[in-house]
């Protein structure tokens, strides 16, 4: 359905900024004239809000967007590069947590930061489930352990391993073969006995990222959103890490899906654990990319 765009000609300054900024070129404009909706490209307007965000006079309205509810004033000064680097280098993936609940207001701030993550096609397809009760997380663990115990047995069977490789794809299969399976072989006996929580790491909070299975770009959107969540948690003095073990277990466990009240057309694509760090690090680890090419 084509998005309806309206222009307030009484306040519009004819600057053409909306025309220049529109990534879909869904606006037509000539110097000295009022902008109008491009009749040929109106079908590909995705209501990204770029035109409304750049308009100095709030003269353009796109679709159902509203200046009061869908926009916020921007800070006059941006964060400095060094401040950003200090934030990123001091952040660590935290897997040891204090036995201390995280207040709801801090979790709401993390959620608000996640909502600001860019997406492939607006509006957001990403949905969250925030599990802020450690007891509920512990109820989920046996089902996850059972899934990975079965995965170990499947991997030992050449026929089943072939189908796992075919369905998982080369990248995921390589990660499973080189990292996940060797780790599970060592840790599974203790996990089955109810030993240390090697999946959610004893965290008091688990955030699940899910969306409808056929939603556009929802997998990549979730990965980006997790990054925002990790940085937000760190900025709030919390510790967090992304946990890739959890989504596959949920996808293949009817009990977990029922426990989480996930609809049949929903899939969990990412997850992160959050809590107060048990240890304070004294230094950051400098990272290097595998390769950088300048062309």
Give φ, ψ of 192 to 5 degrees: -65, -25
Per-residue confidence (pLDDT) for residue 2, from 0 to 100: 77
| Centroid of chain to Cα 238 | 17
Q: Under 8 Å CB-to-CB from 130, ≥6 apart: which residues? A: 107, 111, 205, 206, 207, 208
Q: Express each pLDDT in 195-248 by its tens digit.
A: 899 999 999 999 999 999 999 999 999 999 999 999 999 999 999 999 999 999
Q: Express each pLDDT in 84-94 by its tens digit.
A: 999 999 999 99
Helix (H) / strand (E) element for 243: namely: none
CB 3 within 8 A of CB 48: no
Q: Under 8 Å CB-to-CB from 226, ≥6 apart: which residues? A: 209, 242, 270, 272
Per-residue confidence (pLDDT) for residue 122, from 0 to 100: 86
Which stretches of the chain score pLDDT less than 50?
Answer: none
Q: Answer positive or negative: Cα dihedral of 228, 234, 235, 236.
A: positive
Give φ, ψ of 36 to 5 degrees: -140, 165
CB 277 within 8 A of CB 241: no
Per-residue confidence (pLDDT) for residue 204, from 0 to 100: 98
CB 52 within 8 A of CB 7: no
Per-residue confidence (pLDDT) for residue 199, from 0 to 100: 96
Q: Which two tokens stand for residue 281?
A: 């690090």
* Distances in whole angstroms, Cα of residue 266 to Cα of each of 27, 99, 258: 35, 32, 12
Per-residue buried b or exposed e for 174-188, using 16+ beta carbons within 10 Å of the residue's own CB: eebeeebbeebeebb
Per-residue confidence (pLDDT) for residue 1, from 0 to 100: 65
Q: Terminal CA-to-CA distance of the chain, rounded, Å?
A: 42
Q: Which two tokens stand for residue 189?
A: 């006996």
Q: Under 8 Å CB-to-CB from 22, ≥6 apart: which residues? A: 50, 51
Residue 3, class by beta-carbon neighbours within 10 Å (0-12 exposed, 13-18 middle, 19+ buried)?
A: middle
Strands 266-275 and 60-62, how do they pair? unpaired
Q: Under 8 Å CB-to-CB from 241, ≥6 apart: which residues? A: 93, 94, 95, 201, 230, 272, 273
Q: How far apart are CA 237 and CA 105, in angstroms?
A: 13
């Amino acid at each position: 359905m084509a998005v309806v765009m309206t222009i307030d000609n009484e306040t519009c300054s004819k600057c053409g900024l909306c025309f220049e900024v529109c990534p879909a070129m869904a606006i037509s404009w000539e110097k000295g004239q009022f902008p109008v909706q491009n009749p040929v490209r109106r079908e590909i307007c995705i209501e990204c809000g770029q035109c409304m965000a750049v308009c100095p006079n709030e003269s353009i309205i796109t679709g159902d967007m509203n200046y009061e509810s869908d926009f916020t004033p921007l800070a006059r000064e941006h964060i400095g590069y060094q401040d950003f680097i200090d934030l990123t280098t001091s952040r660590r993936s935290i897997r040891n947590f204090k036995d201390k609940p995280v207040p709801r207001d801090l979790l709401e701030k993390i959620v608000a930061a996640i909502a600001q993550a860019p997406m492939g096609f607006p509006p957001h397809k990403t949905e969250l489930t925030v599990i802020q009760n450690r007891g509920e997380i512990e109820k989920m663990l046996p089902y996850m352990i059972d899934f990975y115990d079965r995965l170990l047995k499947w991997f030992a069977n050449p026929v089943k391993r072939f189908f796992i490789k075919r369905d998982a794809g080369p990248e995921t299969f390589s990660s499973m073969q080189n990292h996940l399976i060797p780790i599970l072989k060592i840790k599974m006996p203790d996990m089955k006995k109810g030993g240390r929580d090697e999946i959610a790491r004893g965290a008091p909070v688990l955030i699940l990222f899910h969306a409808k299975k056929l939603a556009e770009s929802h997998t990549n959107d979730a990965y980006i959103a997790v990054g925002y969540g990790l940085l937000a948690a760190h900025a709030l003095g919390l510790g967090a890490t992304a946990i890739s073990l959890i989504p596959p277990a949920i996808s293949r466990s009817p009990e977990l899906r029922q426990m989480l009240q996930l609809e049949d057309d929903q899939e969990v694509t990412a997850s992160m654990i959050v809590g107060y760090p048990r240890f304070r690090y004294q230094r950051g680890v400098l990272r290097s990319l595998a390769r950088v090419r300048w062309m």
